[in-house]
Amino acid sequence: MERRCLAVVLAAGESSRMKSRVSKVLHPVAGRPMIAHVMQALAASGIAEAALVVGRDAEAVERAAAGTGVSARTFLQTERLGTGHAVLAARAAIAEGFDDILVVFGDTPLITAAPLKAAREGLAAGNDVVVIGFHASDPTGYGRLIVRDGALEAIREHKDASEEERRIAFCNGGLMAINGAHALDLLGRIGNANAKGEYYLTDIVEIARASGGRAIAVEAPEAELTGCNTRAELAVIERIWQERRRRALMLSGVSMIAPETVFLAWDTEIGPDVLIEPNVVFGPGVTIESGAVIHAFSHIEGATVKAGATVGPFARLRPGARLAEGAKVGNFCEVKNAEIGADAKVNHLTYIGDAFVGARSNIGAGTITCNYDGVNKHVTRIGADAFIGSNSALVAPVAIGDGALVASGSVITADVPDDAVAFGRARQEIKPGRARLLKERYLAQKAAKKKT
């Protein structure tokens, strides 16, 4: 739209019902603060400027809202006197002459761009107030939108509604758009002559109509307007978000055997023809390319898995893990800040950290890269076509050359040249008959203890 819009984001929730010391809008959904989801929806709808109305944790809220392409200024709400009063905390920004003022809540992370665009289109069509509503499966407790002949006449709170009005299922979602030319006048005329002595934003509908203006309502899916006041509601929002994202991925060509057991982060990217088995968790910063297989009970965060690679079952990829095409990280393996080359195999019970593993190399079961000396991290480099025997410890910084072989059970502290074999273990000795003598000694010691 060519019209200039300011989004007023109400984000001063105290988290009292969440029993939290952290601002409500900072609680995460899919690994991202709620406020960031809302800001992303604003950006997707074409809005470039926002006024954040904040309370506690103001600086943290401002940081969480950054990085979405929406330029946000912060305004402190020092008193809690209702939604109308909260919007006016951003009076200085509203007064700058925007065409549209869009009021949204920082605790509605499921909102998408579509209803926000629809509300602004309602203003562009000449309306003064556009309320975003929803058809409730159970409208009990919600304010009802009283619509006649296409115009929104009033928002009637449940307790004030008549029996006929209570049968209306079209309910107030709380979000609304206001004609910027009249916004401050309309907001300034909201009174507080009610039991709570608060300024209710919903009164603006009747105020606008009394001034000769027009109000309408546009509809959004009920789930998109779900707000969050308790931990239980946060869990519901997380469930809805996950269901929505899983469905989108499956429609794009991703296979999930038991999708309800797969948990995604807000930025998880998964290509077509990827197979995800049950009970997989993706943290932030994950990219899975086409044709990869993620086996059951794997946890992946901050990692890239290239086409045709295989992960798990019971594998963990930590931040900085990079699996090249056809690489395999098997069961009970952990990879951190390391690149596993094309067709390389890290199959069993292994830790690879701060390392590079070359193409087609094989890392035996129980191998670890000893990357930390108690103060600093060090790098292990393993060349192409190398073979690391089981239960080996590679003490970084160390390099294993192309085609080299490390004998099982070795502790490697020096570089191994290309095509060399390295033994880093004590020589085995055999003592014939000694086992029988030791067993007799131990049995005698056990018998002596019983007598005492």
In 3-state terms, what secondary structure has residue 442?
A: helix
Domain membership of residue 195 as a residue range: 5-225
Considering the domain architecture, whether residues 353 and 404 belong to the same structural domain is answered as: yes
Is position 277 within any domain? Answer: yes
CA atoms of 343 and 359, how far apart (whole Å): 6
Q: Which of 158, 182, 348, 378 is catalytic?
A: 348
CA atoms of 189 and 94, how far apart (whole Å): 15
Considering the domain architecture, whether residues 68 and 155 belong to the same structural domain is answered as: yes
CA atoms of 66 and 439, how far apart (whole Å): 70
Considering the domain architecture, whether residues 301 and 374 belong to the same structural domain is answered as: yes
Considering the domain architecture, whether residues 214 and 317 belong to the same structural domain is answered as: no
Instruction: Report the pLDDT value the prediction gives residue 425, as an integer from 0 to 100.
Output: 87
In the chain, how many domains are there? 2
- Record the pTM: 0.90
- How much is the mean pLDDT over the chain? 95
Is position 30 within any domain? Answer: yes
Pair type for strands 170-179 and 129-135:
antiparallel
Instruction: Report the pLDDT value the prediction gives residue 289, as an integer from 0 to 100.
Output: 98
Q: What is the mean pLDDT of residues 81-92?
A: 93
Instruction: Report the pLDDT value the prediction gives residue 426, as an integer from 0 to 100.
Output: 85
Return the CATH number at 138: 3.90.550.10
- Tell me if residue 85 is catalytic: no
Residues 235-244 pLDDT 10s: 999 999 999 9
CA atoms of 97 and 31, how far apart (whole Å): 36
Considering the domain architecture, whether residues 390 and 337 belong to the same structural domain is answered as: yes
Considering the domain architecture, whether residues 185 and 296 belong to the same structural domain is answered as: no
In the 3-class helix/strand/coil scheme, how is 215-234 assigned residue by residue? EEEEECCHHHHCCCCCHHHH
Considering the domain architecture, whether residues 219 and 296 belong to the same structural domain is answered as: no
Domain termination site, one of 165, 198, 225: 225
Residues 33-62 pLDDT 10s: 999 999 999 999 999 999 999 998 999 999
Is position 155 within any domain? Answer: yes
Residues 285-330 pLDDT 10s: 999 999 999 999 999 999 999 999 999 999 999 999 999 999 999 9
Instruction: Report the pLDDT value the prediction gives residue 14, as an integer from 0 to 100.
Output: 79
E strands, 301-425, are 304-305, 310-311, 316-317, 322-323, 328-329, 334-340, 345-346, 351-357, 362-363, 368-370, 380-382, 387-388, 393-395, 398-400, 405-406, 411-412, 421-422
Considering the domain architecture, whether residues 212 and 285 belong to the same structural domain is answered as: no
Considering the domain architecture, whether residues 313 and 367 belong to the same structural domain is answered as: yes
> How many CB atoms are located within 10 Å of the residue 376 CB?
9
The distance in angstroms from the start CA to the end CA of the chain is: 93
Closest CA to 143 of 202, 81, 220, 190: 202
E strands, 247-392, are 255-256, 269-270, 275-276, 281-282, 287-288, 293-294, 299-300, 304-305, 310-311, 316-317, 322-323, 328-329, 334-340, 345-346, 351-357, 362-363, 368-370, 380-382, 387-388
CA atoms of 168 and 138, how far apart (whole Å): 10
Is position 257 within any domain? Answer: no
User: What value does the CA radius of gyration of the chain take, rounded to a whole number of Å?
Assistant: 31
Closest CA to 249 of 268, 236, 235: 268
Domain termination site, one of 174, 197, 225: 225
Instruction: Report the pLDDT value the prediction gives residue 370, as an integer from 0 to 100.
Output: 97
Is position 258 within any domain? Answer: no
Is position 446 within any domain? Answer: no
Residue 291, both tokens: 């044709």
Is position 233 within any domain? Answer: no
Contact 141, 158 (CB under 8 A): yes
Considering the domain architecture, whether residues 311 and 215 belong to the same structural domain is answered as: no
Residues 351-397 pLDDT 10s: 999 999 999 999 999 999 999 999 999 999 999 999 999 999 999 99
- At residue 68, what are phi and psi to the nearest 5 degrees? -105, 0
Return the CATH number at 278: 2.160.10.10
Is position 429 within any domain? Answer: no
Considering the domain architecture, whether residues 217 and 167 belong to the same structural domain is answered as: yes
Instruction: Report the pLDDT value the prediction gives residue 80, as an integer from 0 to 100.
Output: 84
Considering the domain architecture, whether residues 204 and 272 belong to the same structural domain is answered as: no
Residue with tokens 């709620």: 34
Burial class (CB in 10 A: 0-12, 13-18, 19+), 320: middle
Residues 189-227 pLDDT 10s: 999 888 788 899 999 999 999 999 999 999 999 999 999
Closest CA to 69 of 42, 94, 30: 42
- At residue 184, what are phi and psi to the nearest 5 degrees? -65, -35
Instruction: Report the pLDDT value the prediction gives residue 197, as an integer from 0 to 100.
Output: 86
Domain termination site, one of 167, 197, 225: 225
Q: How confident is the model at residue 1 (pLDDT cuts 50, 70, 90)?
A: low
